[in-house]
Amino acid sequence: MKNSAKQTAAALVFAVLAVSMLGGCFNRAGTDDQRMAWWRDARFGMFIHWGLYAVPAGEWNGETTHAEWIRTTARIPLETYDGFVDQFNPVDFNADAWVKMARDAGMKYIVITSKHHDGFCLFDSDQTDFNIMATPYKKDIMKALARACRKYRVKMCWYYSIMDWHHPDYLPRRDWEKDRSTEGADFDRYVAYMKAQLKELITNYGDIGVLWFDGEWERTWNREYGFDLYNYVRSLQPDIIINNRVGAGRSGMEGMDKSGGFAGDFGTPEQQIPATGLPGVDWETCMTMNDHWGWNKNDRNWKSSENLIRTLADIASKGGNFLLNVGPKADGTFPEESVERLRRIGEWMRVNGESIYKTSASPFRNLAWGRCTQKSVVGGTRLYLHVFDWPGDGKLVVPGIYNQVKKVYLLTDPTLEVSAERGPDDIILTLPSTAPDSINTVVVLEVRGKADIDNPPQISADFDVFIDKLPIILSTDREHVVIRYTLDGADPTSQSPPFKDAIMIRKTRTLATACFRDGRMVSGVVRREFRKVAPKPAFSKEALKPGLVYRYFEGDWNALPSFHRLRPVKTGTVANFSLENRRRNEYMGFEYNGFIRVPRDGVYGFSTDSDDGSRLYIGGYLVADNDGLHGLREQEGIIPLEAGYHPIRVTYFNKTGGYDLMVNFRSSGNPGVAIPDSLLFR
């Protein structure tokens, strides 16, 4: 094949993978709105982690830091763990009381662990005896909860773990389970078992709002399994909503997979709130009230009611849902600390719920005194101002807003109108001297038209550096404004050129832009430098073979070690950046070396998604630094490259917990995808 033909073929890889990725994104925000409507309106739900692990209550052999992962974190043999079945007898469980507590707290849906990673089922399953009917309790927990949810008009939703530490056909085994042979295990047979259980959950309990998958990160689960399972579940209940963890290889907890494996309806950031939300994506933050999901009797690190109420407002202000966890005790009761926090949240929600339900993200980039949610109403917009820090002088400044005020009042007393003074660039509200609610008082500001906030234009470009030329797009969702810009970094004026089409730059420039109305600047100025650079030269290499060389190591590290100083446990070749040659899941690391064939001159973004740390080098340059102990996290760097072969090296380590590594790249006009085998050589 001639060189030009090779380049064309490589370029086609980008296009094919991009189409694959876009085709796999079933339901990002803005699609299938009718099915997603109730979930987007709800904003607030209850997560429940409950199962056999509530019996030891987080303690084993004097260690008190365990919870729902106790079987693997404490390395409890299977037959010993099975003994908890005879001890699980939640005689104080009351489905009505649980659901009523959720409803009274303002929660609109409940997601409960029908089966967690330990494989134990809280429902009556014909597929296994390892379920609630084998316990002294002998009653279907899920049936009682589904009935109670219908009674109190709360959506019933199931959590279901793809990973299963109990089933004989699930692979891989835990690396410490030396006595559990994998001989005869058949993962496809396990998938059939899982589908049969999901059919029970979806068809035997009435309408189910969400199927919340988890435990998909192990290498036995892949993209094809994820798509197939998504379609299977939807075939049983077409309107059901499915989270991102049904797919393989999500990029962080948000779940936007770079390899085309995203097959869910919403992202699931865990124990954290994305700083600016996830624009264009439905998402839900799941979070514990203390430090554990399952019941841990020694965990006293409870978040305050104030913290949780403000967290709810923060998440809603960024366009997300809040799934707040409770870990019930083995007797079937909620911890008193959880009950008290739910009660306090409920008191706040009974007064202020309309500022959470059916709202959308704040139009403001930042508010020093709190948060904002909003709704469109006839003739204008209703802004809900969540005031965390009450002004000492009673003057609340709503900055950078140009709308005319219709009405202002407090949700605690809608009959008491608040006076508003219209300034050139802000609105000043005169409030009572004392906050009615010291945690979060909601002030309602009704304005005419769509919220008109002084946010500057958005600058869109593939990268901040370029080789020959770079198109730049400026945009805003504001009405009746003109975007003006300069290319020398100076503040734009009413005489600066207006943005019409893509701005094409061919040398280093600093772009500055702002919004104007009637000749007056009505936004801040935003700047961004774009640099022209030379590409890194390619290496001339002949007779290369497909694949990479790997070296595998074992050790206890908190950061990437100097692998060149260590003796590998084993070496070999692989087609891609795979962890399949590991001997265990924890306390191990890899180093990969080879070449990547770059199809054409250009700027490229390279990233690693890893749990734990990783680094990526191109031609000796550190491009993506993702080192350290952390969950699945993405880090990207950019580098200009000449067409041809470039050395690539990736280092990776894992200590404990989940393990994963994905290596991705993107180019101008092409989304991020996993580097295909066809571009890797040794």
Neighbours of 572 (CB within 10 A): 12
* Range scoring the smallest mean pLDDT among 13-17, 45-49, 171-175, 332-336: 13-17
Neighbours of 22 (CB within 10 A): 12
- HSE toward the beta carbon, residue 27, CA cutoff 13 A: 25
Neighbours of 628 (CB within 10 A): 15
Q: Is residue 257's pLDDT more than 70?
A: no
pLDDT in tens, 325-339: 999 999 999 999 999
pLDDT in tens, 416-425: 889 999 998 9
- Mean pLDDT, rounded, for 517-523: 95
pLDDT in tens, 89-130: 999 999 999 999 999 999 999 999 999 999 999 999 999 999
The C-alpha atoms of residue 632 and residue 249 are separated, in whole angstroms, by 10
Largest CA distance in the chain: 81
The C-alpha atoms of residue 212 and residue 114 are separated, in whole angstroms, by 10
Predicted confidence at residue 253, as pLDDT, reads: 56
Q: Is residue 3's pLDDT more than 60?
A: no
Amino acid at the residue 6? K
Q: Is residue 21's pLDDT more than 80?
A: no
Q: Is residue 255's pLDDT more than 60?
A: no
pLDDT in tens, 653-681: 999 877 889 899 999 888 888 899 999 99
* Range scoring the smallest mean pLDDT among 144-148, 238-242, 245-249, 592-596: 245-249
- Tell me whether residue 19 is exposed, middle or buried, using C-beta atoms within 10 angstroms of its C-beta: 0 to 12, 13 to 18, 19 or more: exposed
What single string gives the DSSP state of each residue in 34-67?
HHHHHHHHH-EEEEE--SGGGTTTT-BTTB---S
Of the candidates 451, 496, 499, the residue with the CA atom closest to the CA atom of residue 474: 499
The C-alpha atoms of residue 540 and residue 183 are separated, in whole angstroms, by 47
End-to-end CA distance of the chain: 19
The residue ranking higher by pLDDT, 323 or 218, is 323
The C-alpha atoms of residue 608 and residue 495 are separated, in whole angstroms, by 45
pLDDT in tens, 603-661: 999 999 898 999 999 999 999 999 999 888 889 999 999 999 999 999 999 998 778 89
- Tell me whether residue 35 is exposed, middle or buried, using C-beta atoms within 10 angstroms of its C-beta: 0 to 12, 13 to 18, 19 or more: middle
Helix or strand or coil: residue 633? strand
Helix or strand or coil: residue 614? strand
Strands 155-161 and 109-115: parallel
Q: Is the dihedral of CA 105, 106, 109, 111 positive or negative?
A: negative
Share of the chain above pLDDT 70, in %: 93
pLDDT in tens, 274-284: 999 998 889 99
pLDDT in tens, 455-493: 999 999 999 999 999 999 999 999 999 999 999 999 999
- 165: pLDDT confidence band, cut at 50, 70 and 90? very high
Amino acid at the residue 293? W
Q: What is the mean pLDDT of the chain?
A: 92
Q: What angle do CA 168, 170, 174 make, to 5 degrees?
A: 95
Q: Is residue 9's pLDDT more than 60?
A: no
Predicted confidence at residue 584, as pLDDT, reads: 85
Q: Is residue 48's pLDDT more than 80?
A: yes
> Which residues make beta-bridge pairs with 385?
372, 443
Where is 376: in which H helix or E strand? strand 370-377
Predicted confidence at residue 178, as pLDDT, reads: 87
- Mean pLDDT, rounded, for 183-200: 98
The C-alpha atoms of residue 610 and residue 40 are separated, in whole angstroms, by 30
Taking only Cα atoms into account, the Rg of the chain, rounded to an integer number of angstroms, comes to 27
Q: Is residue 25's pLDDT more than 70?
A: no
Structure token digits, residue 624: 């993506």
The C-alpha atoms of residue 469 and residue 504 are separated, in whole angstroms, by 7
Q: Is residue 17's pLDDT more than 50?
A: no
- 29: pLDDT confidence band, cut at 50, 70 and 90? very low
The C-alpha atoms of residue 160 and residue 113 are separated, in whole angstroms, by 6
The C-alpha atoms of residue 225 and residue 220 are separated, in whole angstroms, by 9
Predicted confidence at residue 416, as pLDDT, reads: 85
pTM: 0.87
Where is 10: in which H helix or E strand? helix 3-24
Residue ranges with strand state E in 544-601 = 548-554, 570-574, 588-598
